[in-house]
């Protein structure tokens, strides 16, 4: 028996080879594809229409509802043990179960968020690591007062998943399901509070207006012009590879919270291994997907080769995640992210038209950064555009 599998994770072929060596009767054929939004999702949608889809495919959390809307996913709940979900952190399992109506994928990795910060520069400027967002703003002001060329971080126009994470930390609920109806509220009070907070920092010039992962951003980080980056666990490798000259100068702390005493975090990114509708071997495909994302040897390969952070509870305690990091001055940084993973809002879900939502937010954020609008107005526009997109998909939707 042969199963076809589409994935873009670097080095995932080694995990597939390990499975194939241990399961001669169920062989998996890997098709290395581009990242989902770089063409694979469109190709997968086309394959579903032509009934030529693979048995399995990597699909990110925020895109999974879209493929469920296309009826492209196989419910594999009958292929799994009843307690399978107990192996995964709550947030990840809730992303694939959809109101307990079935199991539509196996969680692969998550992106719990924390704050990367330049500990040497915090000492130089005489400021403490902020525990709350109010303290974060105070540090931004204190540092900028000492050197106007230095800012605490940047506000990215197009990293809209980043903003979604920050909104969810504050209790946002962008989408909910009420029977057959979708309820949408992208400009809800928690999201608007986050928008107004960052708008204030932008208006006062306390955060940089630049896109993350750009050459400008890399240079600002390397030159010590940006002191922090609130980002996901996978960002640890981004910094190590993009600004190697700053090795030993960084540390990781929990992301700031809104109220003293809270224990809230956020998630940015994460993906699943989904069994597609047309698979002739859903049981075997589900068993491979479960093994891929729970077996300790597989998890180690996925982390070492692809930088994936496990979605399983046991995976957070694997030995390879307990090693000190040289780039972060010997800190055991994954302990911070393991704590964050358990503090992500498990009830936050995505609408089935997040591509439209993200595009609208990016456009709105661009206008706000250009001084022609505000971040709050960007939320308003994204809500209207999302509801329009959902109605074009013949979905019943209303503002929550």
Q: Is residue 216 assigned to a domain?
A: yes
Residues 31 and 176 in one domain: no
Residues 260 and 215 in one domain: yes
CA atoms within 13 A on the CB side of 400: 19
pLDDT category at 125 given cuts 50, 70, 90 is very high
- CA geometry: angle 105, 108, 112, nearest 5 deg: 120
pTM over 0.85: yes
Tokens of 213: 């992962």
Please compute the mean of the pLDDT values over residues 281-290 and round it to a whole number.
98
Residue for token digits 């709350």?
Answer: 132
Average pLDDT, the chain: 96
Residues 135 and 242 in one domain: yes
Q: Which domain holds residue 31?
A: 2-111+269-327
Residues 61 and 127 in one domain: no
Alpha-carbon distance of 239 to 233, in angstroms, equals: 11
Tokens of 300: 């180690």
| CA distances from residue 302 to 14, 15, 337 in whole angstroms, order as listed | 9, 7, 17
CATH number (domain holding residue 179):
3.40.190.10
Q: Are 255 and 135 in contact (CB under 8 A)?
A: no
Q: Are 290 and 170 in contact (CB under 8 A)?
A: no
CA atoms within 13 A on the CB side of 136: 26
Percentage of residues of the chain with pLDDT beyond 70: 100
Tens of pLDDT, residue by residue over 301-355, are 999 999 999 999 999 998 889 999 999 999 999 999 999 999 999 999 999 999 9
Alpha-carbon distance of 129 to 372, in angstroms, equals: 33
- How many domains would you assign to the chain? 2
Residues 48 and 71 in one domain: yes
Report the SS3 class of residue 132. Answer: strand
Helix or strand holding residue 119 (H, E): helix 119-125
pLDDT at 99 over 80: no
pLDDT at 52 over 90: yes
pLDDT at 180: 87
Residues 288 and 234 in one domain: no
């Amino acid at each position: 028996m042969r199963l076809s599998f589409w994935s873009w994770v670097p080095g995932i072929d080694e995990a597939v080879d390990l499975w194939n060596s241990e399961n001669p009767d169920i062989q998996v054929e890997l098709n290395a594809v581009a990242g989902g939004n770089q063409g694979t999702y469109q190709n997968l949608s086309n394959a579903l229409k032509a009934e030529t889809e693979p048995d399995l495919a990597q699909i990110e959390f925020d895109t999974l509802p879209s493929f469920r809307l296309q009826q492209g996913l196989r419910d594999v709940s009958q292929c799994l043990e009843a307690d399978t979900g107990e192996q995964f952190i709550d947030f990840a399992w809730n992303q694939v179960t959809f109101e307990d109506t079935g199991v539509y994928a196996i969680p692969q990795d998550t992106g719990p968020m924390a704050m990367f910060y330049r500990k040497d520069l915090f000492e130089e400027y005489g400021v403490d690591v902020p525990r709350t967002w109010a303290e974060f703003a105070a540090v931004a002001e204190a540092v900028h007062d000492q050197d106007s060329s230095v800012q605490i971080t940047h506000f990215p126009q197009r990293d809209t998943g980043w903003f979604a994470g920050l909104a969810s930390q504050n209790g946002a609920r962008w989408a909910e399901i009420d029977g057959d109806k979708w309820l949408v509220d992208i400009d809800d009070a928690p999201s608007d509070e986050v928008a107004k907070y960052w708008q204030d920092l932008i208006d006062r010039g306390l955060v940089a207006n630049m896109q993350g992962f750009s050459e400008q951003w890399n240079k600002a980080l390397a030159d010590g012009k940006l002191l922090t980056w609130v980002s996901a666990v996978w960002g640890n490798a981004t910094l190590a590879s993009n600004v190697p000259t700053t090795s030993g100068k960084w540390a990781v702390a929990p992301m700031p919270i809104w109220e003293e005493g809270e224990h809230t975090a956020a998630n940015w990114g994460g993906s699943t291994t989904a069994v597609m509708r047309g698979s002739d071997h859903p049981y075997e495909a589900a068993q491979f997907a479960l093994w891929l994302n729970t077996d300790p040897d597989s998890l180690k390969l996925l982390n070492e080769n692809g930088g994936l952070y496990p979605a399983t509870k046991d995976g957070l305690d694997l030995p390879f995640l307990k090693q000190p990091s040289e780039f972060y001055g010997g800190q055991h940084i994954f302990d911070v992210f393991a704590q964050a993973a358990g503090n992500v809002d498990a009830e936050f879900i995505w609408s089935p038209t997040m591509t439209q939502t993200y595009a609208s937010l990016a456009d709105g954020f661009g206008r706000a950064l250009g001084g022609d609008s505000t971040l709050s107005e960007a939320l308003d526009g994204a809500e209207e555009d999302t509801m329009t997109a959902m109605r074009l998909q013949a979905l019943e939707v209303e503002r929550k």
